[in-house]
Amino acid sequence: MQTILIKNGRVVDPSQKLDRVTNILLRDGKIAALDVAVPTDALVIDATDRIVVPGLIDLNTQLREPGFEEDETIRSGTAAALAGGYTTIACLASTEPPIDTQASVEFVQHQADRANHCRVVVIACVSQSRAGEQLAEMGSLSAAGAVAFSDAPRPVLSAELMRRALEYGSMFNVPIINRPEVRDLTRDGVMHEGQTSLILGLAGMPPEAEDVMTARDLRLAESTGGRLHLTCLSTSGSVELVRNAKRNGIPVTADVCPLNFTLDDQNLRTFDSRFKVNPPLRSSEHVTACVIGLKDGTIDAISSSHSPYASEKKMQELDMAPFGAATIETVLSLVITHLIEPGHLTWLEAVEKLSTNPARILRLPHQVGTLQIGATADITVIDPNLEWQVDAAQFCSQGRYSPYDRNLLRGRAQVVIVGGQVRWER
């Protein structure tokens, strides 16, 4: 395997509180050394004016295969992830059949190996067939490689099932990931319920629908001691609930996706289904609350919430079109443009939420999410100053609907290295 030297980059690694310009040597798929000079046999990547970080790790990509290959395949989804700077993605079980058997976990891993893009770890169903009734075989699924359990983006509606999952899952020390939404309260809704939905006559999804289930799950995590991860939080109420829960020592982690810290519900005034996502784009006070939650550490991670759909599905009337957008190729640039540039997060804090903490939450094997000596050489080299215009038609993802299409963003992954191999170069 080629020895690689990444030269003269600003190395940002929250796992060792490292933020300085130096060289990194990669050998045999591992981080071999920092601060070294150029060995004669190495491939040299000049990272002058670039930022070198542990490869990004996503907590909730939807790959859609098997079952919905018209939306995304494991090949196209992992290509999109690489282009977005990700070296590992955790895929959700929203497939058909849902990922609830050892065989289906292995299928995803085989397809990912064949594609040879980024690493894929599986989040298996928390309930059999994602039906929300009986627990999936968490023990066997863990043994097959599942790193967490979730029915997301579908919430676990039954409080009893959620309680059982947290209790039972604690035996395997795996997180239960829930996307809190009381469906009784969001029925038929297509957007955030507020002044804008009132004016547009569109059915609303009230923020309480998220708050109520967040409160339920936090209480269940407290009583069971199970590991709870809340994904895609979007309301000021649930951010505040998680803040208090952490203060009280409840074992919970949480993420938000860029949609909910960059865009508000005014965008629905265009009636464009690109903006129909779940959680819905909220009003500005909720957007601000998400940013504050990221700044003060209430929110541990930033996830992609990548939910690609075939164009013919998104082209429908707003209430018929599915919730979701192709986002994974824009997450890093949105973090740079909306959080780092305005000074909300430092590079160390941002990388912590995009790589270090996701690795920690999922307890990923093979030492990823860090640049410590001996760790796996999964690395993303970022050009933080590159200005580019989003063009969804050029996405590697099959999903062509992006709320950010035509937006000017700053910063982009330039080189993505997985296991010591350059897998993507822009």
**Applying CB under 8 A, which residues contact other proteins?**
187-188, 194-195, 198-202, 270-272, 312, 315-320
Residues 130 and 98: beta-carbon distance below 8 Å: yes
Q: What CA–CA distance (Å, rounded) separates 347 from 50?
A: 12
Shortest distance in whole angstroms from residue 202 CB to other proteins: 5
Phi-psi region of 266 (alpha: psi -120 to 50; beta: other; left: phi over 0): alpha
Q: Which is nearer to other proteins, 171 or 199 (CB)?
A: 199
Shortest distance in whole angstroms from residue 37 CB to other proteins: 59
Residue 54 backbone dihedrals phi, psi, to 5 degrees: -60, 140
Q: What CA–CA distance (Å, rounded) separates 290 from 311?
A: 30
Q: Which is nearer to other proteins, 41 or 317 (CB)?
A: 317
Q: Which is nearer to other proteins, 134 or 316 (CB)?
A: 316
CA distances from 334 to 257, 384, 411 (A): 10, 11, 8
Q: Which is nearer to other proteins, 41 or 184 (CB)?
A: 184
Q: Which is nearer to other proteins, 20 or 187 (CB)?
A: 187
Residues 378 and 419: beta-carbon distance below 8 Å: yes
Q: What is the dihedral of CA 352, 355, 359, 360, to 10 degrees?
A: 0
Shortest distance in whole angstroms from residue 406 CB to other proteins: 14
Shortest distance in whole angstroms from residue 401 CB to other proteins: 14
Shortest distance in whole angstroms from residue 278 CB to other proteins: 17
The 10 Å Cβ neighbour count of residue 229 is: 29
Shortest distance in whole angstroms from residue 220 CB to other proteins: 27
Q: Which is nearer to other proteins, 41 or 312 (CB)?
A: 312
Shortest distance in whole angstroms from residue 399 CB to other proteins: 17
Which of these, 314, 185, 342, 198, lies nearest to 266 by C-alpha position? 198
Q: What CA–CA distance (Å, rounded) separates 369 from 58?
A: 11
Shortest distance in whole angstroms from residue 417 CB to other proteins: 42
Residue 293 backbone dihedrals phi, psi, to 5 degrees: -60, -35
Q: Which is nearer to other proteins, 41 or 188 (CB)?
A: 188
Write down the residue that tokens 């895609």 correspond to: 232
What are residue 254's DSSP bridge partners? 230
Q: Which is nearer to other proteins, 158 or 195 (CB)?
A: 195
Q: What CA–CA distance (Å, rounded) separates 91 from 74?
A: 9
Q: What CA–CA distance (Å, rounded) separates 390 from 382?
A: 17
